[in-house]
Amino acid sequence: MKFVFDENFAPNLARALALLDNEHEVASVVDKYGRGLDDIDWIPRLADEDENWVILTIDKRISRNKKITEVWKQAGLTTFFFVGAWAHTSSWDRIVKTIGLWKNIVEKACQAKRGSVFKVLIKSKEIVELK
């Protein structure tokens, strides 16, 4: 599996997980494509590169902006939406909490059908598949 964190996560999180997880590729959108690339540009590029990429995002626009949603659905990549308080959590806390959830995220991603969608809740540390 290959995991990519969007620009809402510090690139250092992806770099740290890449060092800790020898079984999977972990990257940041910032490191792959540079800072400021629009979702409608990087999501299809990622899908064209390899259909095994999994997106990890705090960005609500992917599921709420019609144009971005269309591109995202067309890409068919499994996605984990970090919802709720994640958006208001410090970068350091995001890193610590995400590393704590990493094993569970990887297990869910490996068992999921391509294009599955999950929401990750910060308070309960729950990961729920959306139907």
pLDDT above 80 for 131 = no
Tokens of 40: 């409608």
- The residues spanned by each domain of the chain are 2-130
Model's pTM, two decimal places?
0.94
Tokens of 77: 């990549």
Taking only Cα atoms into account, the Rg of the chain, rounded to an integer number of angstroms, comes to 13
**What is the pairing mode between strands 78-83 and 2-5?**
unpaired
Q: pLDDT tens across 91-108, in order?
A: 899 999 999 999 999 999
Q: pLDDT tens across 8-54, in order?
A: 999 999 999 999 999 999 999 999 999 999 999 999 999 999 889 99
Please state which architecture CATH assigns to domain 2-130.
Answer: 3-Layer(aba) Sandwich (3.40)
CA atoms of 49 and 124, how far apart (whole Å): 34
In a 3-state reduction of DSSP, which class is residue 50?
Answer: coil
In a 3-state reduction of DSSP, which class is residue 59?
Answer: coil
Q: pLDDT tens across 78-95, in order?
A: 999 999 899 899 989 999
